A and B are shown apart, each in its own frame.
Chain A
């Protein structure tokens, strides 16, 4: 049986600024197979597929479609038969299902849309996917699972034979996921080739013929299903790297609870349960790592803890006091500080100078404000001291902080947040995108706070960071904790990285 390589990507490399997203990646897709690409956040999966789809151009490397080398953009990709089902659907909500499907290629007679023809074609697809919706109903009325099917039908309508599905089960219920796998097998039987991006190991094992694992921009494994089990995959996905980084060596953690969350539920405005019955306690002097792939409730958890979102149910206590109804300002003054993951949009006012950024959050404090007027001189002094103490390079007092590098931006945020001597520090992806020196600086400041008795919630998708910095790790999966790991257990080898990888993929539950 001749298996033809329908897609071949050789030596694909792509830089974003100075971050290496894809590094010399080789990837092949055989005609009629389902090929899964797995990896953690930032592994480079989406980038690689966007390159395949023509949305992005690689910095180096070659792409062969049906054996012929090609350089192309999206509209040409469509002609070659490559279709992509994005994670956020390209739907026009107010238009009907039919109109959405045919938007890429509208059949017409002298300008008037040939509805009969289009309807006939689409009806066939609708039936084969088991959809019960009417073509003329508005697409906004369909469920997420149904809309994803429409998204797939869109690619089929323009004649795609290579389908790229980007984290398709991220928005589906288990039942809908099962239906999706049935449809994938159906498409396979029709001769289509499918690429499937995911981080959920169990599903991947269920549906893929071959699996490629990406980690930090490189291919760390390429297997056929049947060769490997979930543990092998997890190892390839999260395997440790040896770098000279600071570690948390503290063994002893106080018993006093500084932050407690009980029975937290949160439903977003689409009615989806983002946090389900979440419970945890943070102790003084403890670094509690919250791990898991992004999108499993981390954002909602942060917003609830900092006070921007209100939980639909549940209770938050700070040092015994009920702060569930506290505003953001009240929580700050009670001692909760936060380092948000989005440095430039949430952590700073990028178009303001250092003083204004350092003042934020303390702009009503007596230290800086007298009778409504800001004490400029004092603010300038404090800023100068912060620049020294935190070694913020390249900072001039009147300049906008947009001039600073990533590491220095993070130091400004640290200077501000740590200045209130917080009782609880929520640090979200604090070392993302930083070089080694900056990473160690951030880690050393976190460890210093820990010494002072501050309880730190370290939310990170970087498992290595969690494992070396946390006293205890909780893995977040679909709004709840799928596992709890103690430092000891890692040290003594009771729980391995692969186990944690499995928890992140939703496999093990303890």
Chain B
């Protein structure tokens, strides 16, 4: 068992989850519960591959892919904000739609269905950062990743700074926490909701590029539930950027280990279930604590009264 190999692929596998999670984070921060991250990421994969194939240029294709995803985010928020469609239903609709669209469009665009492999020359290649010398242990883990992986490592920290130290970050946070108060403070709530949704699309698009182009192929349903994993991550961490980073690494690690284990003949399903179980607890436990807290508050008041009135 090659520890460093596992850690290296941990980062590689965690990267798309980090990107999708940050995308979902922006959406959550403005109180749009986007269940459809899966769809956004899948569309990102597909449009990146399709655009690269058609333009024969990785950079251009990737840019188009991201733009498509941003538009996707805009359309989603339009339906939710303006047409007042229920966010969950809209998300499920987007998931079904994207699943169907990507499958359907494979034949007309690529000429095959199910799976399409691009020429190797278009792949997103890993970069050798000269900083790490050959035998450096950290280098073994952190070297030779694609550019988007490196982006995804720094992104959570940049997001944290943006949200907590900039004016617009404060706008976004206040909208999600108390829309009425934000409105009363003169913030243009709708505008920022649209912008946050577009940011969602942007990051999911990046995730799609990383997923698809690092392997230079497109496979139907290649996002394989990563959109929901990202949601589980966000639930676990309460949509905080830096804990999200570590939680995503955890998932990446689980992914990596289960690859190793299954090829060694072990059972990956339980390991795969663990994160969802954790997420479930992350949803339930805070509420339990709050309930206990409220009961204590009332009890304390009660005792205060009893002491004051001298026993009844």
Contact = CB atoms under 8 A, between A and B. Distances in A.
B185 to A, nearest CB: 4
A113 B312 CA distance: 55
A103 B302 contact: no
A91 B185 CA distance: 10
Interface in A66-115: 74-75, 78, 90-95, 99, 103-104, 106, 108, 111-113, 115
A270 B180 contact: no
A95 B173 contact: yes
Interface stretch (A44-52, A205-213, A261-269, A493-501): A261-269
Contacts of A74: 184, 186
A265 B297 CA distance: 15
Interface residues of A, number: 30
Given A103-B174, A271-B300, A312-B302, A111 B181 contact: no
Contacts of B312: 263, 313
A112 B168 CA distance: 9
Contacts of A313: 302, 312
Most A CB contacts (10 A, CB to CB) among B178, B185, B305 go to B185
Contact of A108 (B167, B174, B182): B167
A270 B297 contact: yes
B165 A106 contact: no
A440 interface: no
A267 B306 CA distance: 13
A106 B174 CA distance: 13
Contact of B181 (A92, A273, A276): A92
7 contacts: A92-B177, A93-B177, A95-B177, A106-B167, A270-B297, A273-B305, A312-B298
A247 interface: no
A99 B174 CA distance: 9
A277 interface: yes
A74 B184 CA distance: 8
B119 interface: no
Contacts of A92: 173-174, 177-178, 181-182
B183 to A, nearest CB: 9
B222 to A, nearest CB: 37
B166 to A, nearest CB: 5
A111 B164 CA distance: 11
B216 to A, nearest CB: 38
Contacts of B165: 112-113, 115
Contacts of B281: none
Contact of B298 (A91, A95, A113, A267): A267
Contact of A111 (B167, B184, B300): B167
Interface string A262-298: 0101010111110011000000000000000000000
Interface string A306-342: 0000001100000000000000000000000000000
Interface string B66-106: 00000000000000000000000000000000000000000
Nearest to B178: A92
Contacts of A115: 165
A103 B185 contact: yes
A317 B232 CA distance: 51
Interface in B135-170: 165-168, 170
Contacts, number: 74
B2 interface: no
Given A104-B186, A267-B302, A90 B174 contact: no
A312 B185 CA distance: 39
Contact of A95 (B174, B180, B305): B174
A267 B173 CA distance: 32
Nearest to B296: A271
Contact of A93 (B167, B178, B187, B309): B178
B121 interface: no
B185 A90 contact: yes
A269 B294 contact: yes
Contacts of B170: 95, 99, 103, 106, 113
A312 B294 CA distance: 14
B301 interface: yes
Nearest to B186: A75
A273 B301 contact: yes
Contacts of B184: 74, 90
A153 to B, nearest CB: 14
Contacts of B297: 269-271
Interface in A395-448: none
Contact of B177 (A94, A267, A270): A94
Contacts of B186: 74-75, 78, 104
A155 B170 CA distance: 19
Contacts of A113: 165-167, 170
A134 B302 CA distance: 29
A272 B166 CA distance: 37
Q: Which 3 A-B pairs have the closest CB atoms?
A: A90-B181, A103-B185, A92-B178
Most B CB contacts (10 A, CB to CB) among A78, A108, A112, A271 go to A271
Given A92-B178, A273-B305, 9 more contacts: A74-B184, A90-B181, A91-B181, A103-B170, A106-B167, A111-B166, A265-B305, A270-B297, A271-B301
Nearest to A91: B181
Contact of A267 (B166, B174, B180, B301): B301
Given A267-B301, A269-B297, A103 B177 contact: no
Contacts of A111: 166-168
A313 B311 CA distance: 12
A506 B186 CA distance: 38
Contacts of A94: 173, 177
A75 B183 CA distance: 11
Nearest to A104: B185
A95 B163 CA distance: 12
A179 B173 CA distance: 33
Contacts of A265: 302, 305
Interface in A190-235: none
Interface in B184-234: 184-187
Contacts of B166: 108, 111-113
A115 B174 CA distance: 17
A95 B165 CA distance: 13
A93 to B, nearest CB: 7
Contacts of B298: 267, 269, 271, 312
Interface string B282-309: 0000000000001001101110010001
Contacts of A269: 294, 297-298
B123 to A, nearest CB: 36
Contacts of B305: 265, 267, 273, 276
A265 B301 CA distance: 11
B71 to A, nearest CB: 25
Nearest to B161: A112
Contacts of A273: 301, 305
A273 to B, nearest CB: 7
